[in-house]
Structure 1
Amino acid sequence: MSQKQLVFDQLDNLGIAYKLMDHPPVYTIEDMEQLKITEQGEVCKNLFLRDAKGKRHFLVVLNKDKQADIKSIQAQLGCTRLSFASDERLQKYLHLQKGAVTPLGVTNDPEAAVEVVLDSSLEGKEQLGFHPNDNTVTIWISYGDLIKFIRTNGNIIHHIEI
């Protein structure tokens, strides 16, 4: 079964409505803008971070137009120094490749080891865009349904100001 099919099955099992948009592979927000994907709803950036000891891993989700202040995120989470996690860690914890990072990747985290960090400005949004573990598709779901999806997997969710 494909990575994206795992996401679709989980969404269907939870009764979460979603829209799909197929497109060529995209790796950056700029790629998405060129294909006009960002005109369909609020596309999110996703950053995979780790603490200084590599014991905690965070998937940070924010609006595509915002810049992440890593020191502010660290302070709000009360953790040791944050840095970007390696491709190997991304593969180990979420079984994802660079360019396909998504909060929907928690489907690949049965131990719920990755903590999901959501920018509070996303709260209440009706159409958030993410890859379903595959960067050739963008899926649109509501913020409330995103929370439901993550909670069902058991991952810790943090709401912070980015």
Structure 2
Amino acid sequence: MPKTREELFECLDSLGISHPTKEHAPVFTVAESVSLRDEIAGGHTKNLFLKDKKGAYFLVTLEENAEVNLKTIHTLIGASGRVSFGKPEALMEKLGVAPGSVTIFCAINDPQHEVTIVIDAPLLDHDVVNAHPLRNDATTSIGREDLLRFLSHTGHEPLILKVST
């Protein structure tokens, strides 16, 4: 059973990680979330759930306006051949969320470490990173170092690479 937002917050609390969260109407795209920028400081994220030809999965987290060349990203992230977007059923199975709610916090729902977490290096230029807390009706702010500590706690050592163009 996927973790709930409350269980995510309990995990962050147990690690001593501050996680202010702003409730808002559900947002499904970066364009829909632009109105929140004045209310929530820090780097805002977008996430790509990708699958390679051999069935390996990747969660790529970038700054919201970053662009990625999907025809060449596989050479950077260690994928076997070109990647495509993972299907919604696989997203739910592997990371416990529906499309529109994909977030780096989904690492908590991957105890088998079946998904490689990739962070676009420029995102970590921000002291604070903002992401959905497993649902797209809120935004949680977390310190850059705390995010990395959270990922380590989940058993995910992210690939930190410049994947944006």
Q: Say whether the fold is shared (TM-score over 0.5).
A: yes
Hey, what's the Cα distance between the residues in 1 that align with 2:157 and 2:150?
12
2:15 counterpart residue number: 14
Could you state the TM-score of these two structures normalised by the residue count of structure 1? 0.92
Return the alpha-carbon distance in structure 1 between the equivalents of residues 79 and 57 of structure 2: 11
Aligned to 1:98, the other structure's residue is in SS state coil
- State the 1:72 CA deviation: 3.3
Mark the CA change 1:72 to 1:26 in structure 2 (over 3 Å): closer, same or farther: same
Q: Show the 5 A alignment for 1:3-152.
A: 3-36=4-37, 40-54=41-55, 56-80=56-80, 81-152=82-153
Q: Compared with structure 1, are the counterparts of its residues 23 and 2 closer, same or farther at alpha carbon in structure 2 (3 Å cutoff)? A: farther
Q: Is the 8 A contact 1:62 1:118 kept in 2?
A: yes
Q: CA deviation at 1:108?
A: 1.0
Between 33-42 and 84-93, report the one with greater CA deviation.
33-42
Identical residues among aligned pairs (%): 32
Cα offset, 1:41, TM superposition: 2.2
Measured in 1, the distance between the counterparts of 2:117 and 2:70 equals 15
Partner SS state of residue 70, structure 1: coil
CA contact (8 A) 1:6 1:107 kept: no
Deviation per CA, 1:61-105, whole angstroms, max 9, x where unpaired? Answer: 001111111233211123222110000100000110011000101
Question: Aligned pairs, how many?
Answer: 161
Q: Deviations over 1:106-127 (max 9, x none)?
A: 1111112111000111224211
Runs of at least 5 residues in structure 2 that lack an aligned partner in the other structure: none
* Larger mean Cα displacement after TM superposition, 104-113 or 93-102: 104-113
For 1:100 and 1:109, locate their aligned partners in 2 and report how far apart those are by CA, in whole Å. 15
Contact kept, 8 Å, 2:88 with 2:99, in 1: the verdict is yes
CA 1:79–1:121: 2 relative to 1, 3 Å? same
* 2:44 match: secondary structure: strand
SS at match of 1:83: strand
- Whole-angstrom distance in 2 between the partners of 1:112 and 1:96: 16
Distance in 2 of aligned mates of 1:38 and 1:26: 15
